[in-house]
Structures are given as structure tokens and as C-alpha cells.
Amino acid sequence: MQSSFSELAYAVKKKQTRRDRFLAEIETVTPWAALEAEIEPFYPTGAGRGRPPIGVGRMLRMYVAQQCFGLSDEGIEDAIYDSQAIRAFVGIDLAREAAPDATTLLKFRHLLETHGLTRKIFEVINTHLAEKGLMMREGAIVDATLIAAPPSTKNRSKARDPEMHQAEKGNQWYFGMKAHIGVDAESGLVHAVVGTAAHVSDVSQTHKLLHGEETEVLGDAGYQGVDKRAENRDNKATWHVAMKRSKRKVLPANRLGKLLEKLERAKASLRAKVEHPFHVVKNLFKHKKTRYRGLAKNEAQLFSLFGLANLFLARRPLLALHAQGAS
């Protein structure tokens, strides 16, 4: 198919924007064929009356762009019309066709949610990363972050989301949910995701964040007592949990106190890797607030977000491997 005049003009422009580079990298490192293969069995074929459905590959790219830029269904539809970079990524030429509308994307999201396909997206991406030698299994870091939910009651039900709850952190109250993750201690890539209401304790979800092959597990002070919980008694891993702040403040100024303080700093340095996927999801992908009502829909979105965050964090080695394969 010949390129339109606008596509050719865009292709020869001299300056490549950060958006261009980002989308080019995501295009290269994403295992599109494997992802499409997971979705295809559930995707409508268009047999019978009516217009044939838009191809699964195009809808998947639209969905990925939506997640990476933190846009609503209407927002990504507008972005396709506004941005040549996003149009090229999705595969839309406005000289020949209209962009898929927000309702079409809404139906695609519901398809993913109904059949648990966002979890499959996460698993396929991680399988791809493991095959490239980027996921280890010896060590893990566990952590959780709060994601705010809209506190407003200006909605159809005139009430806040009943599945979200309040939680206190640092003498401040937050309303929303928690994203609990298990991270590979070597690469910093996420291997497990659990979404709960904000008031659920971090330590209660630890067993869901481990795959059972870890020899070392690190966690902050919120995981105190994790090794004594019934669900973790059979786990043979060595636990490295941070000391509570109140205890750390009163460490003696003698040699033992200094050694313990040095140990706490070392553990904190190792745990820092868990902040990288949180940074990508909350700051780069702009997911600081829940977009939907109910835990199930929001947890489903977390699988997609952390899967894409893994691709972003691993993009340099993946691009290097791709370049080697192309040469």
C-alpha cells in the first residue's frame, strides 16, 4: 500500500521527538505476535451481518498507546487524530480511514477484562523477557504503593467506590487501592501483581507475590513478622525485612549500632529497585489515580501497566538483542 502525502512528509522530518523514540522502542521490544495469539481466540470474527471488526493487532496497539500515555478512551481517540506518531504506531492513515472510536476501544477493554487477558498480557511479556535471559528467580523484593481513587460522589450512584477504602500513611489519609508487586531482585522487573483495597496490609499479600523459588526476599518495615505467618511457613527463603523506624532511631552509638545501621542502609539500597516500576507506572504512564470503579477492573489494568513497564525497563538490553539479531 502506498503511503499518503502526510505520512511521507512526517517520515522525512529531521527532528525525532521523545514520543517518536518512545513509540519506536515499544514497537520494537513488544512481542506482538505472541500477544495477539492470546487475544485472537476471544476476538469477534465478524461473521454475519454488519461491518467486520477492526483487526486485533490495531486494537491492541491502540490499547497499548492508551496505557503508556495515561489516556481515557476518548483521549486516545483524540490523540490518534492529533499525533502523527501515535497514528503511525497504531497503523492508521487518515487519508484512507477513520480512527477506531472510543466505544470500540471500550468494547476491546471489556473483552480483555472479561477473559482475564490483561493477566495473559503480563505473563506473555514476562515469558518473553525470561526467554531473553532478563528474568532471574533467586531473589525477590516485595512492596506496595497506594493509588488514589476519586473521592467525589458526583456520579450516577451518588457514592464513592464501595470497593475502595481509606488508609493512613505518614500521618496522612488516602482513599483508594494498593498495587502490591513482587520484583526480581537482579533485574528490577515485576513478576507478580496483586490489587487490593488501600486498607489491606502489605504483609498479608506477600505469599501471592512469590513464585516459590526465591532464596532471598527483601521487604520494607511493613513486612515485619512475614516469616511467622502461616501462609509463609513452608517458604525456605531467607527474609531480609527492614527494621521499624522507631527501633532504628534508638540504635546505640556503639560499634554494634553502627553495624546495624550500615546493614539497614544496605538493605534499603537493594530494595530501591522496586521503586523503578512504580515510577514508570505512576509518573511516566501517569497512573496516579484509578480510572475505573471496582477492584477487578483496576487490577486488570495493573497487569497491563506493569507488563508494559517491564518492557520499558528492559528496553535497552532488548533493543541490543534485536540489533544483534538484525545484523
Between CA 129 and CA 48 the distance in angstroms is 39
What domains can you pick out in the chain, each with its CATH number?
5-115 (no CATH), 137-298 (3.30.420)
- What single-letter DSSP state applies at residue 163? T
Lowest mean pLDDT among 32-36, 56-60, 67-71, 158-162: 158-162
Would the pLDDT of 99 be above 50?
yes
249 or 278, which is more confident: 278
Mean predicted confidence (pLDDT) in 252-270? 91
Would the pLDDT of 14 be above 90?
no
Query: Beta-carbon neighbour count of residue 231 at 10 Å?
Result: 12
- What single-letter DSSP state applies at residue 138? S
- The model's pLDDT over 201-243, given as tens digits with 9 standing for 90+, comes to 999 999 999 988 899 999 999 999 999 999 998 888 999 999 9
Q: Which residues contact 279 (CB under 8 A, 6 or more apart)?
A: none
Report pLDDT for 2: 46
Q: Residue 181 is inside which H or E element, if any?
A: strand 172-184
- What single-letter DSSP state applies at residue 281? I
Between CA 117 and CA 110 the distance in angstroms is 10
Report pLDDT for 159: 80
Radius of gyration of the CA atoms of the chain, in A: 22
Between CA 163 and CA 176 the distance in angstroms is 9
Q: Which residues contact 268 (CB under 8 A, 6 or more apart)?
A: 242
The whole model's pTM is what? 0.90
Closest to 278 measured CA to CA, from 308, 309, 316: 309
Phi/psi at 307 (nearest 5 deg)? -65, -45
- Share of residues in the chain with pLDDT > 70 (%): 91
